[in-house]
Structure formats: structure tokens, C-alpha cells
Amino acid sequence: MVAPALPATNPPSAAQARRRAVDGFTLVELMIVVAVIAILAAVAIPSYFRYTLRANRVAAENVMLDMSSAQERYMIDSRQYTTSNTQLGYASLPDTVSPNYTIAVATSAGPPPAYTITATPIGSQTRDTDCGTLKLGSNGSKSASGTSTTCWKK
């Protein structure tokens, strides 16, 4: 018995052989990917730094507002304001604030008696030139040493 003859197949063309031989990326494709990543990083990294500065600022503002409430409670109990962070319940600042701000309280005897809570940026927070040093007064006044008018959250 004779085996049936197989149909004749054409050998692969040179173009087909090259297509099968390519298993990776070309240099041009790789450079396009690198360029896209560089553009995304150029946009994302500064945005992230602005976000962290803003988040650190909000954390300091929250502590300052809490200290202001504690000052008013202290005034009701003692008939005077205090310059001691410890008497306001802040023997040490929270970990979210202490690496970025120092917070101090200054008082004046008056009349009327008053206080000012000041948060001064330290470390990497000094890059926050939009707001800089934050102040909160006993009359509710809020200010910042920077150029922005939107430093305090509403």
C-alpha cells in the first residue's frame, strides 16, 4: 500500500519568516513608551507634592482649631488664656503635624484678653510658599504669610 501524497506547500516568504522571528519590542516602540511615562511623571509628581503640602496644611489647621476650642474652655475655667500647649491637651503634636509644623500660642492680657495660635512650617513643608505660616486669632481671624487667599479651608 502506498501512502497518499501530501499536498505541496510553498516555503514561507522572507517577510513571513521575519514576522515570526520578531519576539520583542523595537527600539522605537520602547522609546515611545519611555516618552509617555516621562510625560505622565512630569505631570503627576508635582501634583502629588502639591497634594501632600495641602494635606499637611489641613492637618495643622485642624490642630489649631482644636487648640482654639481648648483655649476657650481654659478661659471659662481659669479666667485667662494659656500659652502652654500641654494645658491645651497637646503635650506633643500629632504625628501628622509634628514633622511639618511647630505650633505656638501667644497671649495678651488685654483688655480684652486674646490669643494667637501660630503654625510655622518646618522641614519639607517650607516649600509651601503659597501659605507659609498660619495664624488663628481668638476673634476667629485666620491668616497666612503666603500669597494665596485660600489657605484656610472653608
In this prediction, residues 132-148 reach a mean pLDDT of 92
pLDDT in tens, 62-112: 999 999 999 999 999 988 899 998 999 898 999 989 899 999 999 988 789
Name the DSSP letter for residue 143. Answer: E
pLDDT, residue 152, reads 85
pLDDT, residue 137, reads 94
Q: What is the CATH number of the domain that holds 92?
A: 3.30.700
Cα dihedral across residues 117, 121, 122, 123: positive or negative: positive
In this prediction, residues 121-144 reach a mean pLDDT of 93
43 is a domain residue: yes
pLDDT, residue 17, reads 60
pLDDT, residue 118, reads 96
How many domains are contained in the chain? 1
112 is a domain residue: yes
Q: Which residue has the higher pLDDT, 2 or 53?
A: 53
153 is a domain residue: no
Name the DSSP letter for residue 134. Answer: E
122 is a domain residue: yes
pLDDT, residue 111, reads 86
The whole-model pTM stands at 0.73
Q: Over 60: is that where the pLDDT of 20 sits?
A: no
129 is written with which cell numbers? 510658599
Asked if residues 134 and 116 have their Cβ atoms less than 8 Å apart, the reply is no
Edge-first strand order for the sheet with 142-144 is 101-108, 114-121, 134-137, 142-144
Q: Which residue has the higher pLDDT, 65 or 13?
A: 65
pLDDT in tens, 30-44: 999 999 999 999 999
9 is a domain residue: no
110 is a domain residue: yes
79 is written with which cell numbers? 479666667
pLDDT level of residue 3 (50, 70, 90 thresholds): low
4 is a domain residue: no
Domain of 74, in residue numbers: 27-144
